[in-house]
Copies of this chain bind each other. A is one copy, B any other.
Amino acid sequence: MPRFKLEEYARRLARTREAMLQRQIEVLLITSPENMNYLTGYDAWSFYTHQMAIIALDHEPIWIGRGIDVPCATATSYLPQDDVIGYPDHYVQSTERHPMEFIAQELLRRGLGGRLLGVEMDNYYFTARCFEKLQASLPQCTFRDASDLVNWVRIIKSDAEIELIRQAGVIGDRAMKAGIEAISPGIRQCDLAARIMQAQIAGTESFGGAVPGGLVMGIGPRADAPHLSWTDDPVGSDVVANIELGGCRARYHAGLARSVYLGNPPDQLRQLAAVVREGMEAVFSTVAPGRTCAQLEEVWRGVISRFGLSKPSRIGYSIGLGYPPDWGEHTASLRPGDMTELQTNMTFHVILGMWQGALSFVLSETILVTERGHESFCQMPRELFVVS
A residues bordering B, Cβ < 8 Å?
Answer: 43-48, 66-69, 71-72, 75-76, 88-90, 92-93, 95, 98, 119, 121-132, 145, 147-148, 188-191, 193-195, 197-203, 207-211, 213-216, 221-222, 224-232, 312-314, 317, 323-326, 328, 330-331, 333, 335-337, 353, 355
Contact = CB atoms under 8 A, between A and B. Distances in A.
Given A124-B124, A128-B119, A69 B226 contact: yes
Contacts of A214: 45, 48
B129 A147 contact: yes
B229 A210 contact: yes
Given A45-B227, A227-B44, A222 B75 contact: yes
Contact of A68 (B132, B213, B226): B226
A208 B95 CA distance: 36
A239 to B, nearest CB: 14
Taking the full assembly, how many copies of this chain does it contain? 2
A95 B147 CA distance: 10
Contacts of A191: 202, 208
19 contacts: A43-B229, A48-B214, A69-B225, A72-B226, A75-B225, A75-B228, A76-B228, A92-B313, A93-B328, A95-B148, A122-B129, A128-B130, A189-B208, A190-B201, A190-B203, A194-B200, A210-B229, A211-B324, A324-B325
Contact of A202 (B147, B190, B314, B328): B190
